[in-house]
């Protein structure tokens, strides 16, 4: 179990380091058609089966010739053949002739350069050329990579461009790790679904659908375990059954310090609770444990806190369990269009919009005045930063990160994580 700081809260980076020692990747491989491989994780490395390009070919529509046939002052040559892309019968470019050629077509024997058609003048069966150089507008065999060159490593997350690369090698099916099967449930007597007759004191469950959507966007398999009431026996029963059929469990709510929060107690009965309470804002009551060999994450009940902790802490661990290598967030660095004079005691993920600078007034205490930022994009926090208000997520572009003990002056540069970065 990780030991928190003297404040009783574990710093985010310490928590991530610890969690990465606790999460073991799956080892079950399945082979899927290339058409179904998007967002999957490669289980084996992929190497090139042949050179790319597999032969010298033309990069332009034009005329293939040998540079020695054109004097330094230019000259004309008769057309001695024609080659289209995909043509297997390639005529030889005889001395003192040129061959009409199209993009992607094989370079004929006897030619060592291609002149684009827009740089030529054709009169009858002869072509007028300006001076030429050898090797122009030719894509040479193996120029991109040679046979047996490593193309993609095991653990690579397959994106559309990777599917294209695999297709270019004639791959029809590819070995990938089996998708994670993640059980998701919400905890709390106050929760209702749209199908329920909502009573006074109840709210509709937003965390469950939101977390399902996050997982599905990442390509995981989700298992809807529904809602559990604030009852210890019911919580223990659901966890016990779900742990045997899922690769990981994810819950929201029930991990705070209230007398009706039973999740941590239930997990402790069935396994271990190894992490609780992070130095993060919002999202302090995040929990992690093991139910037998099944990891469990408990994110807070407030929806913004649930989203922040899922994206910044849980998602990297899910990718590790899925076998993805080298998943890292790459924030951009953007100027702040606001002041934040009170240093936080927990790392803060401030929901911000990234938009054009709206303040042109100079501020003498700044190294770079606001005038220098006119026409630049800057970060503007939403007015409502309460962790229960989902509109701060839907109306923002991402998180500006303010670390423990840090203050912010208008114009300072902050790490900014756009929401799209979590799914790169």
In this structure, what DSSP letter does residue 324 have? -
| pLDDT for residue 1 | 63
Q: Two tokens at 139?
A: 């894509």
Query: What does the alpha-carbon distance between residue 393 and residue 387 come to, in Å, rounded to a whole number?
Result: 10
Averaged pLDDT for residues 6-32 = 93
Averaged pLDDT for residues 76-83 = 97
| pLDDT for residue 264 | 87
Query: What does the alpha-carbon distance between residue 211 and residue 310 come to, in Å, rounded to a whole number?
Result: 8
Q: Two tokens at 174?
A: 């590819």
Query: What does the alpha-carbon distance between residue 1 and residue 277 come to, in Å, rounded to a whole number?
Result: 13
Long-range CB pairs of 82-86 (<8 Å, 24+ gap) are 83/108, 85/57
| pLDDT for residue 260 | 55
Query: What does the alpha-carbon distance between residue 129 and residue 418 come to, in Å, rounded to a whole number?
Result: 52
Q: Which of 104-113, 352-361, 413-422 has the lowest mean pLDDT?
A: 352-361
Which of 5-19, 189-203, 236-250 has maximum average pLDDT?
A: 236-250
Helix (H) or strand (E) holding 354: strand 347-356
Q: What is the DSSP string of 44-84?
A: S-EE-SS-BSSS-EESSSEEEE-GGGS-TT-EEEEEEEEE-
Confidence band, pLDDT 50/70/90 cuts, at residue 78? very high
In this structure, what DSSP letter does residue 245 have? T
Question: Do the Cβ atoms of 380 and 335 come closer than 8 Å?
Answer: no
| pLDDT for residue 254 | 82
CA distances from 294 to 21, 186, 192, 239, 332 (A): 14, 18, 28, 10, 35
| pLDDT for residue 314 | 98
Is the pLDDT score of 269 beyond 90?
yes
Is the pLDDT score of 259 beyond 90?
no
| pLDDT for residue 63 | 98
User: pLDDT digit string (tens) for 103-142?
Assistant: 999 999 999 999 999 999 999 999 999 999 999 999 999 9
Query: What does the alpha-carbon distance between residue 402 and residue 415 come to, in Å, rounded to a whole number?
Result: 8
Query: What does the alpha-carbon distance between residue 162 and residue 398 come to, in Å, rounded to a whole number?
Result: 27
Beta-bridged to residue 174, according to DSSP, are 32
Is the pLDDT score of 399 beyond 90?
yes
| pLDDT for residue 139 | 98
Query: What does the alpha-carbon distance between residue 186 and residue 306 come to, in Å, rounded to a whole number?
Result: 11
Confidence band, pLDDT 50/70/90 cuts, at residue 396? very high
Query: What does the alpha-carbon distance between residue 378 and residue 400 come to, in Å, rounded to a whole number?
Result: 11
Structural domains present in the chain: 12-28+179-322 (3.40.980.10), 30-52+144-177 (3.90.105.10), 57-139 (2.170.190.11), 332-423 (2.40.340.10)
Query: What does the alpha-carbon distance between residue 128 and residue 31 come to, in Å, rounded to a whole number?
Result: 55
Confidence band, pLDDT 50/70/90 cuts, at residue 214? very high
**Of all residues in the chain, what percent carry a pLDDT higher than 70?**
93
Query: Kind of pairing, strands 46-47 and 150-152?
Result: antiparallel
Query: What does the alpha-carbon distance between residue 392 and residue 214 come to, in Å, rounded to a whole number?
Result: 17
How many other CB atoms are there within 10 angstroms of residue 199's CB atom? Answer: 8
Confidence band, pLDDT 50/70/90 cuts, at residue 257? low
pTM of the model: 0.87
| pLDDT for residue 344 | 96
| pLDDT for residue 311 | 98
How many other CB atoms are there within 10 angstroms of residue 414's CB atom? Answer: 23
Helix (H) or strand (E) holding 209: helix 207-217
Give the burial class of 8: count Cβ atoms within 10 A of its Cβ; 0-12 exposed, 13-18 middle, 19 or more buried. Answer: exposed
Query: What does the alpha-carbon distance between residue 233 and residue 266 come to, in Å, rounded to a whole number?
Result: 8
Confidence band, pLDDT 50/70/90 cuts, at residue 369? very low
């Amino acid at each position: 179990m990780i030991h928190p700081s003297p404040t009783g809260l574990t710093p985010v980076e310490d928590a991530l380091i610890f969690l990465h020692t606790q999460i073991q990747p799956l080892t079950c491989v399945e082979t899927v058609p290339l058409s179904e491989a998007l967002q999957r994780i490669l289980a084996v490395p992929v190497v090139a089966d042949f050179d790319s390009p597999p032969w010298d070919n033309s990069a332009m529509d034009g005329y293939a010739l040998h540079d020695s046939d054109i004097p330094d002052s230019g000259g004309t040559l008769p057309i001695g053949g024609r080659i289209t892309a995909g043509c297997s019968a390639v005529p030889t470019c005889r001395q003192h002739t040129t061959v009409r050629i199209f993009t992607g077509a094989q370079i004929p024997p006897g030619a060592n350069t291609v002149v684009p058609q827009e740089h030529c003048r054709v009169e009858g069966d002869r072509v007028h050329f300006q001076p030429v150089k050898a090797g122009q507008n030719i894509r040479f065999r193996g120029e991109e990579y040679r046979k047996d060159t490593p193309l993609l490593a095991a653990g690579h997350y397959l994106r559309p461009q990777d599917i294209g690369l695999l297709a270019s090698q004639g791959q029809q099916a590819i070995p990938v790790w089996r998708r994670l099967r993640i059980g998701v449930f919400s905890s709390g007597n106050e929760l209702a679904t749209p199908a329920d007759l909502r009573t006074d004191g109840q709210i509709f469950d937003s965390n469950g659908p939101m977390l399902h959507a996050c997982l599905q966007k990442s390509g995981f398999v989700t298992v809807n375990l529904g809602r559990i009431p604030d009852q210890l026996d019911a919580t223990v029963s659901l966890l016990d059954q779900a742990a045997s059929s899922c690769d990981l469990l994810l819950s929201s709510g029930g991990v705070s310090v209230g007398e009706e929060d039973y999740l941590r107690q239930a997990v402790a009965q069935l396994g271990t609770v190894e992490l609780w309470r992070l130095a993060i804002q919002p999202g302090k009551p995040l929990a992690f444990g093991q139910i037998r060999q099944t990891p469990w994450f408990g994110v807070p009940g407030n929806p913004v806190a649930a989203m922040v902790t899922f994206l910044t802490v849980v998602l990297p661990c899910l990718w590790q369990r899925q076998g993805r290598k080298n998943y890292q967030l790459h924030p951009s660095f953007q100027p702040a269009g606001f002041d934040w004079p009170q240093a936080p005691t927990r790392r803060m993920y401030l929901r911000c919009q990234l938009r054009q600078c709206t303040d042109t007034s100079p501020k003498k205490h700044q190294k770079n005045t606001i005038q220098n930022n006119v026409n630049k994009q800057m970060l503007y926090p939403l007015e409502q930063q309460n962790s229960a208000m989902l509109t701060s997520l839907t109306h923002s572009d991402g998180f500006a990160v303010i670390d423990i003990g840090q203050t912010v002056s208008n114009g300072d540069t902050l790490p900014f994580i756009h929401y799209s970065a979590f799914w790169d």
